[in-house]
Structure 1
């Protein structure tokens, strides 16, 4: 630091202020100091700076899988917002071989040892009992995709409202009932979407057909679609995510059932490819990036000492109508 100060013709305190992004440095001076830092290869000692400021400028993120569109979209939102606010991200993948709460606790402990200012956990599972997450005392934290009574701030999409929008859209188009391809049994979001589908049909006085379980993949949607395509009574399908809707649409095409003339299909998520399905997919939109951005804001509020209420912060969902749905047309043999 002293070498930088001498070369730049400033005090050591000025170099310290530049290293800590203080606004109390003139722009021209800041540029000169940064140029000398680069020339000399100077890098601030993060640990020492944290001892002085009480902040490491880093947020830890725990995730179980990078395979799902939702997790990737959420992490992108976290990265974008954290970067804009001057924070680095330390990403850890929890070990799926352990029970969910043990895996999260183990990952949180590792992050705490690596010195982060706050922690975001992305977890979506029935296997997480209420109050089971163990965080270091006083550690700012947020849980995403969970509303299971966690004592910390949590973020979830309005699964019930979104599912109702999907089912009511199909009923409003005159379809006698709506078939459902669910997500995996262990998924909280899948359960909420299935329950909302069932309640909505019941409230409208419509008999609910047996649901078909999927696993979020297009392959499982394809298998479900083959079963549904062979039933001439099927005219409307609500798939619990867009990938399963894609698989079902392919199965319908292969079986000679036109979408949407013979069968209308609605998905859930509104992933970036949904407008480019054939036909473009009617779906329910949830904003994964917004969830990541909100998580960063809630964690930084806690880091900065602002009060953040525990419990669920629910993000809105909305219907995006496209060309995979149409008015019900009775078949000749109905």
Structure 2
């Protein structure tokens, strides 16, 4: 197995230069290219365990998920693991099943395993429950909930603004009654997406009917039942589903009634995950910036691990709103 001395000899540089390069410290470009070439030729893999013992570091990041089966989390963790491996870190993934007590227990567990940082995916957790998060001596990043703590980073997307943009486009298309299928209002994400629907009406001084709001579980079945309720009332001419699973359930209800999005009923949803273009016309969707979220997690974690104590707070990313003909429909109630 190759070692640092062999890499140094083949690269024509000192052992110290190789060590600095492998530990992420900048060296001269020519030396970096030579070392990189030899590392690849020898298929060198650093001894993480040995390095951890030498430096008293675990080179591990704990990743806590409120629901590992959630498509939002699933679309993030693969890239997150790959990006952590790129900087010689491993990830320890744990599902806390949306239970805040379990979350606190798992944080203690991760600290006992000497992880150097923790990331929490918390879209299905009440933001107020997260106020009990302890102040840790390691970096902590929360995804999908803004945090009030002075030394906890959080990442959110523009849930309200992007929802408002889509619902506004539906109102501009002539719809007056747009049924909204929204998640629990105990969660930050659920509240913000419903606020976006409300703001679209308020900005146009249009009347928003409470009966056009359906709050339900963030599941396919929840979306199906909510859509059935809205469609069977016979008043709405369009539907907006607030997440991927709700959209699937709502589309099932639409299809059962022989309706076609973009022709018989307007339709749009938050989230995409590569399914919207299987419909014709393709569905109007709000796409979350998944790559940006992961890249920001990595960059923020890197800064915190290096001791940067500046700019703690909530970082908001912008979603991509994709408007299509699916928001159009004949405007008589079904």
Fold similarity call, TM over 0.5: yes
Match of 2:120 in 1: 121
Cα distance change of structure 1 residues 135 and 107 upon mapping to structure 2, 3 Å threshold:
farther
CA distance in 2 between partners of 1:148 and 1:36 (Å):
42
CA distance in 1 between partners of 2:7 and 2:277 (Å):
57
Match of 1:207 in 2: 208
How far has the Cα of 1:21 moved from its partner? Answer: 6.5
Cα distance change of structure 1 residues 217 and 304 upon mapping to structure 2, 3 Å threshold:
same
Equivalent of residue 218 in structure 1, options 208, 217, 220: 220
Comparing 188-197 with 243-252, which one deviates more in the overlay? 243-252
8 Å contact kept, 1:57–1:116: yes
Determine whether 1:303 maps to 2:315.
Answer: no
How far has the Cα of 1:34 moved from its partner? Answer: 8.2
State the Cα deviation string for residues 246-302 of structure 1 (Å, max 9, x = none): 221221222133322221011001222222245421111211332122112111101
Please identify which structure carries the higher helix content: 2
Cα distance change of structure 1 residues 28 and 141 upon mapping to structure 2, 3 Å threshold:
closer
TM-score in terms of structure 2 length: 0.82
CA distance in 2 between partners of 1:144 and 1:241 (Å):
16
Match of 1:48 in 2: 53
CA distance in 2 between partners of 1:109 and 1:302 (Å):
20
CA distance in 2 between partners of 1:207 and 1:42 (Å):
61
8 Å contact kept, 1:143–1:153: yes
8 Å contact kept, 1:218–1:247: yes
Three-state SS of the structure 2 residue aligned to 1:248 is helix
Determine whether 1:62 maps to 2:92.
Answer: no
Match of 1:253 in 2: 255
8 Å contact kept, 1:18–1:30: no
Match of 1:154 in 2: 154
How far has the Cα of 1:156 moved from its partner? Answer: 0.4
8 Å contact kept, 1:73–1:289: no
Q: Which runs of 5+ in 2 are unaligned?
A: none
Alignment size in residue pairs: 323
Match of 1:166 in 2: 166
Match of 1:89 in 2: 91
State the Cα deviation string for residues 200-238 of structure 1 (Å, max 9, x = none): 223432232421123222222222222222233220111
Cα distance change of structure 1 residues 283 and 175 upon mapping to structure 2, 3 Å threshold:
same
TM-score in terms of structure 1 length: 0.82
8 Å contact kept, 1:219–1:244: yes
5 Å matches for 1:14-53?
20=23, 27=34, 31=38, 35=42, 45-51=50-56
CA distance in 2 between partners of 1:42 and 1:296 (Å):
22
Comparing 251-260 with 121-130, which one deviates more in the overlay? 121-130
RMSD (CA atoms): 3.4
Match of 1:187 in 2: 187
Cα distance change of structure 1 residues 306 and 22 upon mapping to structure 2, 3 Å threshold:
closer
How far has the Cα of 1:9 moved from its partner? Answer: 7.4
8 Å contact kept, 1:183–1:213: yes
CA distance in 1 between partners of 2:197 and 2:227 (Å):
18
How far has the Cα of 1:80 moved from its partner? Answer: 3.4
How far has the Cα of 1:310 moved from its partner? Answer: 2.1
Cα distance change of structure 1 residues 330 and 112 upon mapping to structure 2, 3 Å threshold:
same
How far has the Cα of 1:83 moved from its partner? Answer: 2.8
CA distance in 2 between partners of 1:36 and 1:207 (Å):
62
How far has the Cα of 1:19 moved from its partner? Answer: 6.6
